[in-house]
Amino acid sequence: MDKKILRNLAYQVAETASLPIMSERRELWKRHNDLEIVRPLILIFPEGSWRELLPESILECTQQETRQIEWELRRRLYTYTHFMDDTVIENSWIVQKRFQVSDWGIQIQRSERTQETGSWHFIPVIKDFSEIEKLHFPQVTYDPDGTTDDFNAAQDLFGDILDIKLKGVAHVSFHLASVYSNLRGLEQMYTDMVDYPEEMLEFLEFLTQGYENLIKQYHDLNLFSLNNDQTYHSSGGVGYTNHLPVPGFTPTRVRQCDLWASAESQEYAVVSPHMHRRFALDFEKRLLQPFGLNGYGCCEDLTNKLEDVLTIPNIRRISISPFANVDRCAEILGNRAIFSWKPQPQQLVGEFNKNEIESYLLHTLEVTKDCVVEIILKDTHTCENQPDRFDDWSKIAHSLIG
């Protein structure tokens, strides 16, 4: 019964993927990601709100594994039928290569949440810099036999309907500030910048070398997969581009230069541009340099740091957060990189004021008319159980882009 349900949904996905609009959207993304000014592109990622849009109660499959597949297929269909955005529904099913990445040698500790979707507090596990000796670089373990089993199972399930693709590491991102604050604590990280700058730099050097070693393992194990497709990139956007892979590419061995990569330092949102450079960007640039195209940022306000971010090798996508000054960012950025704008997700909670939303979106569209713009609605952890708010928001945004 479960197989019948999944195959029926797969047929619907395949039918949707064959629509002419999907080819049109795919080409728009390629031109957009190649820095051609087309129209602003829109993507909607409900994230935490998916539990309100597609609750588990709607699933019909009986087994946990098939219920996960069912949910993903229904998510694609829901996105197409409800959101007026530029999501490309592909006629494919991705089988993830089986591999594991170990931790840094010490288990991260956090305070317990008081509610399921609530916050937690960092509990430092490296209380003295001498304890760095307890750490080790993350190690990758690959399971080729398990990978083959997963691929064959997917092929048997609906390989005659969807294109079954095997992928390894396709989303490449670096999070130095996150790792550091998880190990030292958030408040202590800020103190280290002032009281122990040299020790902090040595710690960041260790973490950077750990990331470099991780990337080397991915390459040696041939785990990299192309991400010039629907793969999610940075903190918003997708990877379609004509600029990757670069000349010299062979399908049997994906290189760093054939890939998108990204980095972010949300925890540095409150520090000065100088400290951001010294304790983040100098290391991140080193990590990003070998990659073909790069993105930067997430929820941190980069308004006063954009000129520094633009020095990242092969920078192509920059996150303009809900807290950024869009007027100033548009003036600085122009068409030098993608203006990946994240509008306020709070507009989907409380009073849903369509006039305010329209005015808010219109202002950014007006000041970014000379930019390569994408509008990424994300971090929407609730819509107060009113799913139609996403539909209405997307209709408003779509009506404004012309």
More confident residue, 112 or 82: 82
Write down the pLDDT at residue 118.
79
> pLDDT band at 113, cuts 50/70/90?
confident
Write down the pLDDT at residue 119.
84
CA-closest candidate to residue 265, choices 286, 279, 248, 250: 279
3-state secondary structure the chain: CHHHHHHHHHHHHHHHHCCHHHHHHHHHHHHHHCCCCCCCEEEECCHHHHHHHCCHHHCCCCCHHHHHHHHHHHHHHHHHHHCCCCCCCCCEEEEECCEEECCCCCCCEECCCCCCCCCCCEECCCCCHHHHHHCCCCCEEECHHHHHHHHHHHHHHHCCCCEEEEECECCCEECHHHHHHHHHCHHHHHHHHHHCHHHHHHHHHHHHHHHHHHHHHHHHCCCECCCCCCCECCCCCECCCCCCCCCCCECCECCHHHCEEEECCHHHCCCCHHHHHHHHHHHHHHHHCCCCEEEECCCCCCHHHHHHHCCCCCEEEEEECCCCCHHHHHHHHCCCCEEEECCCHHHHCCCCCHHHHHHHHHHHHHHCCCCEEEEEECCCCCCCCCCHHHHHHHHHHHHHHC
Render pLDDT for 65-101 as a digit per residue (tens, 0 to 9): 999 999 999 999 999 999 999 999 999 999 999 999 9
Write down the pLDDT at residue 176.
98
Cis peptide before 245 (omega within 30 of 0): yes
139 pLDDT exceeds 80?
yes
Give me the residue label for tokens 């971090």.
379
Distance CA 259, CA 248 (A): 13
> pLDDT band at 116, cuts 50/70/90?
confident
> pLDDT band at 112, cuts 50/70/90?
confident
Q: Contact 353/332 with Cβ under 8 angstroms?
A: no
29 pLDDT exceeds 90?
yes
Q: Percentage of the chain surpassing pLDDT 90?
A: 95
Render pLDDT for 357-396 as a digit per residue (tens, 0 to 9): 999 999 999 999 999 999 999 999 999 999 999 999 999 9
114 pLDDT exceeds 90?
no
Write down the pLDDT at residue 66.
97
Mean pLDDT of the chain: 97
325 pLDDT exceeds 90?
yes
Read off the amino acid at residue 82: H
Residue 63: count other Cβ atoms within 10 Å of its Cβ.
11
User: Does the pTM exceed 0.85?
Assistant: yes
115 pLDDT exceeds 90?
no
Mean pLDDT of 248-266: 97
Render pLDDT for 218-233 as a digit per residue (tens, 0 to 9): 999 999 999 999 999 9
- Which neighbouring-strand residues pair with 293? 260
167 pLDDT exceeds 80?
yes
Write down the pLDDT at residue 402.
72
352 pLDDT exceeds 90?
yes
Mean pLDDT of 148-169: 98
Write down the pLDDT at residue 122.
87
> pLDDT band at 111, cuts 50/70/90?
confident
Write down the pLDDT at residue 355.
97
Write down the pLDDT at residue 120.
83
117 pLDDT exceeds 80?
no
- Structural domain boundaries in the chain: 2-401
The topology under which CATH files domain 2-401 is: TIM Barrel (3.20.20)
